């Protein structure tokens, strides 16, 4: 989307800025700085504590955990990679600005519960309009509803609140990020594809030039703006749909005697189906899948495509059902009550190799058990006590108002397995695959249970230890 080509031809990208130093902006800019030593890359964020954490000398205090991220930060921070709260300065000097702020689901107003809240995108665009100078290329990195670029363009064109009165121009292009948490650096280093959507060829070429430093040209797909914006939503919707599909079949396997892992192997061997994203689980979590599908449903309804909206909404219904189903199974196995039962939860992050707990299935399942009076002991290799308190809305050691349930942070699994009635595995950390189940089983109170929602322990191995075992998708 070209606003004016003035100044653009001679423009060379030397300084880039990214608004939003979160799970997407942080790793993305770190990898760009690694491959483009000629660029000065500045990440800005309104959250000072986050920027302080990105700047912390001790790299174990970075605000997010991602395998390989520390090394990239160590190589580039202070050289050509900077973290700052000085948004004004970073925008003033930037030739290209990435917008990577969060776009949560709206909680009130029109479209509440479905539509994405674009207030942060809007305020970022206003800051760009106010502080930018000369020609600036604006790149949408955040996942946004179709036609958000139009909103950004309108703000940039019509802003009267500019610090600088000389003529400024903008190009808006879209380049959504497909990285998955836990493998962000790997995904950024070696993406399946990179999308650039827009009509301004020069702006597209300048961004393409950055990616070409480490990504081969055949992986860089050029589309129109709206296809680029929509493709990101659809990629997430398709991935989430696979998880809900396999989870719905996991329930069928449990009652029919089929084994979900055998079914997955059988169907995944068909190249048309493919083997990825077919692992049964307690449901998908993370910041994107639910939000993006809600947004897709909203878009379909907005355009009067009620049937399409209903179709995609089912993916979310199944996901909620899977979580509720697992809580119910656990309670049923204890003859309808977990009141005063000691339960060790293994995993609070929404998947392994991340400290992110947004929409984690562990939250809902833990809350269900707390409401039923259970005493929970929660372990996660990367999620700390404060984060769990925030998600459960219950302080460690406090008693839940509705029941007598409460929770304790369990940093040592062996110590906290003493007198435990059940262990529920909710995140697929490699660490859990190496646990000494014999030692744990001796600590547990009998009759004891393991509920494995991630296929971490083998039923055959566990059968030696006099523990009852339940696994998602197999007959138990
Ligand atoms: C978010 C969205 O969830 C995703 O859809 C989108 O593709 C990219 O942005 P993520 O990076 O995981 O992904 O979000 P988060 O970790 O919350 O980071 C966003 C950051 O933007 C936060 O640190 C927040 O403080 C910052 N922010 C938000 C600003 O700096 N300015 C704002 O106006 C709003
Ligand atoms: C996702 C997309 O993969 C990524 O391309 C996009 O940029 C952001 O959203 P992310 O949410 O970080 O990434 O993780 P992902 O690996 O996709 O997992 C999402 C959820 O699905 C997790 O809770 C995971 O445990 C679950 N999942 C995934 C399953 O339950 N089964 C599977 O087979 C795969």
pLDDT digits (tens, 9 = 90+) for 180-194: 999 999 999 999 999
CA 464, CA 381: separation in Å to the nearest integer? 27
181 is a catalytic site residue? no
CA 471, CA 107: separation in Å to the nearest integer? 35
Both 186 and 259 in one domain: the answer is no
Both 153 and 38 in one domain: the answer is yes
| CATH number of the domain residue 218 falls in | 3.40.50.720
CA 301, CA 234: separation in Å to the nearest integer? 16
pLDDT at 245: 98
The SS3 assignment for 407 reads strand
Instruction: Give domain status of residue 202, yes or no.
Output: yes
The SS3 assignment for 51 reads helix
Distance 472 CA to ligand 1 centre (A): 33
| Contact predicate 350/387, CB 8 Å | no
Both 389 and 289 in one domain: the answer is yes
pLDDT at 468: 94
Both 200 and 279 in one domain: the answer is no
140 is a catalytic site residue? no
Pick the closest to residue 341 from 451, 457, 442, 476 (CA basis): 451
Question: Minimum-distance ligand to the CA of 291?
Answer: 1
Pick the closest to residue 104 from 373, 291, 313, 262 (CA basis): 291
Beta partners for 135? Answer: 169
18 is a catalytic site residue? no
Q: Is 7 left (phi over 0), alpha (psi -120 to 50) or beta?
A: left
Does the C-beta of 280 come closer than 6 Å to ligand 2? Answer: no
Does the C-beta of 288 come closer than 6 Å to ligand 2? Answer: yes
CA 27, CA 206: separation in Å to the nearest integer? 21
Both 119 and 41 in one domain: the answer is yes
Instruction: Give domain status of residue 125, yes or no.
Output: yes
The SS3 assignment for 172 reads strand
Both 200 and 262 in one domain: the answer is no
Token readout for 12 is 């060379």
Which residue lies with its CA nearest to atom 25 of ligand 2? 351
Active-site residue identified among 232, 290, 291, 382? 232
Strands 220-223 and 342-346: unpaired
Both 468 and 408 in one domain: the answer is yes
Active-site residue identified among 177, 229, 359, 428? 177
Does the C-beta of 465 come closer than 6 Å to ligand 2? Answer: no
Which residue lies with its CA nearest to atom 8 of ligand 1? 142
| Ligand 1 atom with minimal separation from the 124 CA | 33
| Contact predicate 21/77, CB 8 Å | no
Does the C-beta of 29 come closer than 6 Å to ligand 2? Answer: no
Pick the closest to residue 98 from 201, 29, 188 (CA basis): 29
Q: Is 103 left (phi over 0), alpha (psi -120 to 50) or beta?
A: beta
Low-confidence ranges of the chain (pLDDT < 50): 1-11
Residue-range definition of the domain harbouring residue 15: 5-223
Q: How many domains does the chain fold into?
A: 2
Instruction: Give domain status of residue 155, yes or no.
Output: yes
Which residue lies with its CA nearest to atom 5 of ligand 2? 178
pLDDT at 216: 98
Distance 139 CA to ligand 1 centre (A): 14
Both 207 and 322 in one domain: the answer is no
Both 474 and 361 in one domain: the answer is yes
Instruction: Give domain status of residue 143, yes or no.
Output: yes
Token readout for 466 is 């006099």
Both 383 and 442 in one domain: the answer is yes
- Burial degree of 178 (CB within 10 A; 0-12, 13-18, 19+): middle
Both 145 and 290 in one domain: the answer is no
| Ligand 1 atom with minimal separation from the 47 CA | 25
Instruction: Give domain status of residue 248, yes or no.
Output: no
Both 313 and 175 in one domain: the answer is no
Instruction: Give domain status of residue 20, yes or no.
Output: yes
| Ligand 1 atom with minimal separation from the 177 CA | 7
Predicted TM-score (pTM) of the model is 0.94
Does the C-beta of 243 come closer than 6 Å to ligand 2? Answer: yes
What's the length of the chain?
A: 476
Instruction: Give domain status of residue 76, yes or no.
Output: yes
Pocket probe for ligand 2: among 24, 28, 180, 472, the residue whose CB has the most ligand atoms within 8 Å is 180
Distance 101 CA to ligand 1 centre (A): 3
Domain boundary among 223, 247, 274: 223
Residue 144 φ/ψ, nearest 5 degrees: -135, 160
Pick the closest to residue 82 from 71, 69, 73, 92 (CA basis): 73
Distance 234 CA to ligand 2 centre (A): 14
CA 426, CA 348: separation in Å to the nearest integer? 7
Which residue lies with its CA nearest to atom 22 of ligand 2? 284
Which residue lies with its CA nearest to atom 7 of ligand 2? 178
pLDDT at 164: 64
Does the C-beta of 102 come closer than 6 Å to ligand 2? Answer: no
């Amino acid at each position: 989307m070209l606003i004016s080509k003035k100044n653009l031809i001679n423009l060379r990208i030397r300084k880039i800025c990214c608004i939003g130093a979160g799970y997407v902006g942080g790793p993305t800019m770190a990898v760009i700085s690694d491959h483009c030593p000629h660029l000065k890359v500045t990440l800005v964020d309104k959250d000072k504590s986050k920027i302080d954490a990105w700047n912390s000398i001790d790299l174990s205090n970075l605000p997010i955990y991602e395998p390989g991220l520390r090394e990239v930060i160590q190589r580039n921070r202070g050289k050509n990679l900077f973290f700052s709260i000085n948004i004004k300065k970073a925008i003033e000097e930037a030739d290209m600005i990435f917008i990577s702020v969060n776009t949560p689901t709206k909680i009130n107003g029109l479209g509440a519960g479905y539509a994405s809240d674009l207030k942060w995108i809007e305020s970022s665009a206003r800051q760009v309009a106010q502080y930018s100078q000369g020609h600036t290329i604006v790149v949408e990195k955040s996942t946004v509803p179709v036609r958000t670029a139009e909103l950004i363009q309108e703000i940039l064109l019509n802003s009267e609140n500019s610090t600088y009165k000389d003529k400024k121009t903008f190009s808006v292009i879209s380049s959504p990020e497909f990285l998955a948490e836990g493998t962000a650096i790997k995904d950024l280093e070696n993406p399946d594809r990179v999308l650039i959507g827009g009509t301004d060829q020069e702006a597209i070429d300048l961004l393409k030039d950055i990616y070409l430093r480490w990504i081969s040209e055949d992986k860089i797909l050029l589309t129109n703006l709206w296809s680029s914006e929509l493709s990101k939503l659809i990629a997430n919707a398709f991935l989430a749909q696979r998880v809900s599909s396999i989870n719905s079949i996991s329930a069928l396997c449990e009652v029919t005697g089929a084994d979900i892992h055998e079914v997955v192997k059988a169907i995944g061997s068909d190249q048309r189906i493919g083997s990825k994203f077919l692992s049964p689980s307690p449901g998908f979590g993370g910041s994107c899948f639910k939000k993006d599908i809600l947004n897709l449903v909203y878009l379909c309804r907005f355009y009067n495509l009620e049937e399409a909206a209903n179709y995609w909404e089912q993916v979310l219904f199944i996901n909620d059902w899977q979580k509720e189903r697992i809580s119910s199974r656990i309670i049923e196995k204890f003859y309808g009550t977990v009141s005063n039962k000691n339960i060790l939860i293994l995993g609070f992050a929404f998947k392994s190799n991340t400290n992110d707990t947004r929409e984690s299935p562990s939250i809902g399942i833990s809350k269900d058990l707390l409401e039923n009076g259970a005493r929970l002991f929660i372990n996660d290799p990367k999620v700390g006590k404060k984060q769990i308190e925030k998600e459960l809305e219950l302080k460690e050691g406090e008693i839940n108002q509705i029941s007598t349930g409460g929770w304790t942070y369990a940093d040592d699994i062996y110590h906290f397995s003493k007198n435990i009635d059940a262990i529920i595995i909710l995140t697929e950390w490699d660490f859990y695959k190496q646990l000494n189940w014999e030692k744990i089983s001796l600590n547990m109170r009998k009759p004891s249970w393991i509920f494995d929602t991630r296929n971490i322990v083998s039923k055959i191995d566990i059968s030696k230890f006099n523990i009852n075992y339940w696994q998602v998708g197999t007959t138990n």
